[in-house]
Amino acid sequence: MSRLHTPARDDVSEATQGILDAVGAQFGFVPNMFATLASNPTVLDVVVGLQTSLSRVLDAKTRHTIALAVSQANECDYCVAAHSFVSSELGGMSSDDIDLARAGSSVDPRRAAVARFAQQVVESRGRVSDADLAAVRGAGYTDPQILAIVTVAVQALLTNFINNVNRTDVDIPAVTPAGTPG
Task: Establish if 65 belongs to a structural domain.
Answer: yes
**Which residues, including other chains, have CB under 8 Å from residue 144's CB and lie 6 or more apart?**
none
Task: Establish if 148 belongs to a structural domain.
Answer: yes
Task: Establish if 116 belongs to a structural domain.
Answer: yes
Task: Establish if 49 belongs to a structural domain.
Answer: no
Give residue 115's pLDDT band: very low, low, confident or very high (50, 70, 90). Answer: very high
Looking at residue 46, what is its pLDDT? 96
Contact 88/174 with Cβ under 8 angstroms? Answer: no
Looking at residue 78, what is its pLDDT? 95
User: Which domain covers residue 82, as residue numbers?
Assistant: 60-165
User: Residue 69 is part of a domain; what is its CATH number?
Assistant: 1.20.1290.10
Alpha carbon distance 153, 128 (integer Å): 13
Number of structural domains the chain divides into: 1
Give residue 179's pLDDT band: very low, low, confident or very high (50, 70, 90). Answer: very low
pLDDT tens digit sequence for 45-77: 999 999 999 999 999 999 999 999 999 999 999
pLDDT tens digit sequence for 133-153: 999 999 999 999 999 999 999
**Which residues, including other chains, have CB under 8 Å from residue 67's CB and lie 6 or more apart?**
79, 83, 87, 152, 155, 156
Alpha carbon distance 123, 134 (integer Å): 17
Task: Establish if 1 belongs to a structural domain.
Answer: no
pTM of this structure:
0.91
Task: Establish if 171 belongs to a structural domain.
Answer: no
The string of DSSP letters for 38-85 reads TTSHHHHHHHHHHHHHHTTSS-HHHHHHHHHHHHHHTT-HHHHHHHHH
Mean pLDDT (whole number) for 31-36: 96
Looking at residue 181, what is its pLDDT? 39
Task: Establish if 136 belongs to a structural domain.
Answer: yes
Task: Establish if 118 belongs to a structural domain.
Answer: yes
Alpha carbon distance 149, 164 (integer Å): 22
